[in-house]
Amino acid sequence: NAGVTQTPKFRVLKTGQSMTLLCAQDMNHEYMYWYRQDPGMGLRLIHYSVGEGTTAKGEVPDGYNVSRLKKQNFLLGLESAAPSQTSVYFCATRQNYGYTFGSGTRLTVV
Amino acid sequence: QQQVKQSPQSLIVQKGGISIINCAYENTAFDYFPWYQQFPGKGPALLIAIRPDVSEKKEGRFTISFNKSAKQFSLHIMDSQPGDSATYFCAASRGNNQAGTALIFGKGTTLSVSS
């Protein structure tokens, strides 16, 4: 039982490149979330999904897109990376009041 | 508009002392108030949580005090240990059965417990 798995764990991108972060869960939770964490800013919600095939914007959605084609996977895409997107990205799932976080993806955009 | 305000930003406590971190919220619809602990390189992990129908919850050395009228809640760590050194986040969310409910986090407190 892996819980929430994020891949990759680390990545360095050049400005303008694109990439996709994968979040996979094996807990059959309906709700999934993408957060970014920056020093002194806490965790801010980027996008979320309330079920397969659904997505919605969070607090800081600009520059990101998401997809939830399968219930167990939630993808976060950066179409044209910018240095401002350098951050640590966390995926989370929720069942009732219980949230489970992945271990994060550290992304650096140079 | 910051919905959950956390203080202090950093805290240094002697081993065996009491660590206190405070949070204030604005949205009276919030009904779930967790505290998360995060070690470097790791994801946040749930430490303790409270619902607004109680004023205090204790789990081992960790206690949440909740003041609904003041819209404030705090984390107390008794007998603080060097292993408690981490970043702590308060959070809030509303409506377990409402689609789109998400945790809203405070900005975090870095706790250092000196031995």
> Could you say which of B43, B93, B105 has the minimum Cβ distance to residue A42?
B105
Check whether B16 has a pLDDT greater than 80: yes
Instruction: Output the CA–CA distances (angstroms, integers) from residue A1 to A21, A28, A95, B86, in the order listed.
Output: 21, 11, 16, 26
Interchain proximity A42–B44, CB inside 8 Å: no
Per-residue confidence (pLDDT) for residue B95, from 0 to 100: 62
| A62 CA to centre of own chain | 13
Interchain proximity A33–B102, CB inside 8 Å: yes
Check whether B15 has a pLDDT greater than 90: yes
What is the mean pLDDT of the segment spanning A96-102? 88
What is the mean pLDDT of the segment spanning B38-56? 93
Check whether B98 has a pLDDT greater than 80: no
Per-residue confidence (pLDDT) for residue B1, from 0 to 100: 59
Q: Count Cα neighbours of A78 within 13 Å in the Cβ-side half-sphere.
A: 25
Per-residue confidence (pLDDT) for residue A88, from 0 to 100: 97
Q: What is the pLDDT of residues A68-81, one digit of tens each?
A: 999 999 999 999 99
pLDDT band at B47 (very low <50, low <70, confident <90, very high): very high
pLDDT band at A1 (very low <50, low <70, confident <90, very high): low
Q: Which residue of B has its CA nearest to A102?
A: B43
In percent, the amount of chain B with pLDDT more than 70 equals 93
> Could you say which of B34, B41, B96 has the minimum Cβ distance to residue A96?
B96
Cα angle at B103 between B99 and B108, to 5 degrees? 170
Q: What is the pLDDT of residues A14-66, one digit of tens each?
A: 999 999 999 999 999 999 999 999 988 899 999 999 999 999 999 999 999 99
Chain A interface includes B20 (CB < 8 A): no
Instruction: Output the CA–CA distances (angstroms, integers) from residue A97 to A7, A57, A78, A80, B108, in the order listed.
Output: 25, 20, 29, 35, 21
User: Which residues lie below 8 Å from residue B24, measured CB to CB, with a gap of 6+?
Assistant: B4, B5, B70, B71, B72
Check whether B25 has a pLDDT greater than 60: yes
Per-residue confidence (pLDDT) for residue B115, from 0 to 100: 86
Chain A interface includes B40 (CB < 8 A): no
User: A59: left (phi > 0), else alpha (psi -120 to 50), else beta?
Assistant: alpha
Check whether B114 has a pLDDT greater than 80: yes
pLDDT band at A95 (very low <50, low <70, confident <90, very high): confident
Check whether B76 has a pLDDT greater than 60: yes
